[in-house]
């Protein structure tokens, strides 16, 4: 009987440490969430280097929601940075900024072995990532 209790305790500790690690990485609040991209023209498996949805009204709406769910906890509400991560309003609009944006968003960013930003390739599809970019472009400020 005693052994049974001990192994239950072990499982609990293991489960709790997994949660602790997830929370540290996710800053403890909002977990990354899939974004519903219904209605947007599907983009297929090939990754594009430029945003096909730039200026697309539906994409901008979906992107605002996608940003709030996945990026705001680090980059700030409405893309206004609180200092934890760069202010994405300053990201260059158009093709120049697109390439940098999609690379960072897909792969994340690791500096000297320390993960600074998670990659979103397994969480968001290409449609969702470009929708977020379409919304960010509407927030552009020098
Ligand atoms: C866990 C915190 C975190 C989350 C969540 C996060 N980022 Fe980041 N992001 C960072 C940090 C930190 C950097 C700065 C990396 C560096 O250069 O040191 C960064 C950099 C970037 C850059 C480059 C900005 C520049 O000025 O060069 C882009 C683009 C970006 N993030 C987009 C996104 C998008 C889009 C999302 C949501 C889908 C997102 N990030 C979610 C932390 C985060």
Query: pLDDT for 54-94, tens place per residue?
Result: 999 999 999 999 999 999 999 999 999 999 999 999 999 99
Quick check: helix, strand or coil at residue 114?
A: strand
Query: pLDDT for 101-130, tens place per residue?
Result: 999 999 999 999 999 999 999 999 999 999
Taking the model in full, what pTM does it have? 0.83
The response to whether residue 132 sits with its C-beta less than 6 Å from ligand 1 reads yes
Residue 4: what pLDDT?
58
| Multiple choice CATH, 30-137, 1.20.1050.10, 3.40.190.10, 1.10.760.10, 3.20.20.70 | 1.10.760.10
Here the contacts of 103-109 (C-beta below 8 Å, separation 24 or greater) are 105/129, 105/132, 105/133, 106/47
Which residues touch 100 (CB under 8 Å, ≥6 apart)? 91, 92
Ligand 1 center to residue 87 CA distance, Å?
Answer: 9
Ligand 1 center to residue 119 CA distance, Å?
Answer: 9
Query: pLDDT for 21-54, tens place per residue?
Result: 444 444 445 578 889 999 999 999 999 999 999 9
105: left (phi over 0), alpha (psi -120 to 50) or beta: alpha
| Distance of alpha carbon 137 from alpha carbon 25, whole angstroms | 27
* Higher-confidence position of 13 and 72: 72
Residue 18: what pLDDT?
44
CA of 123, closest atom in ligand 1: 38
Helices (H), 32-93: 57-70, 72-75
Residue 16: what pLDDT?
47
CA of 66, closest atom in ligand 1: 38
Residue 108: what pLDDT?
97
Pocket test for ligand 1, best of 65, 71, 87, 101 (most atoms within 8 A of CB): 71
The response to whether residue 104 sits with its C-beta less than 6 Å from ligand 1 reads yes
* Per-residue tokens: 11: 């499982």
Q: Whose CA is nearest to atom 11 of ligand 1?
A: 85
Residue 3: what pLDDT?
53
Q: What are the residue ranges spanned by the domains of the chain?
A: 30-137
């Amino acid at each position: 009987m005693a052994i049974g209790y001990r192994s239950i305790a072990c499982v609990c500790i293991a489960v709790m440490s997994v949660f602790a690690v997830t929370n540290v990485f996710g800053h403890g609040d909002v977990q990354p969430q899939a974004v519903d991209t219904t209605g947007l023209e599907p983009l297929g498996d090939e990754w594009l280097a430029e945003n096909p949805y730039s200026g697309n009204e539906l994409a901008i709406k979906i992107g605002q929601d996608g940003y709030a769910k996945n990026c705001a906890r680090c980059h700030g509400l409405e893309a206004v940075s609180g200092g934890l991560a760069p202010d994405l309003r300053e990201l260059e609009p158009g093709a120049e900024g697109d390439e940098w944006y999609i690379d960072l968003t897909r792969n994340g960013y690791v500096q000297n072995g320390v993960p600074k930003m998670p990659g979103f390739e397994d969480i968001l599809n290409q449609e969702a990532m470009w929708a977020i970019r379409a919304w960010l472009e509407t927030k552009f400020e020098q």
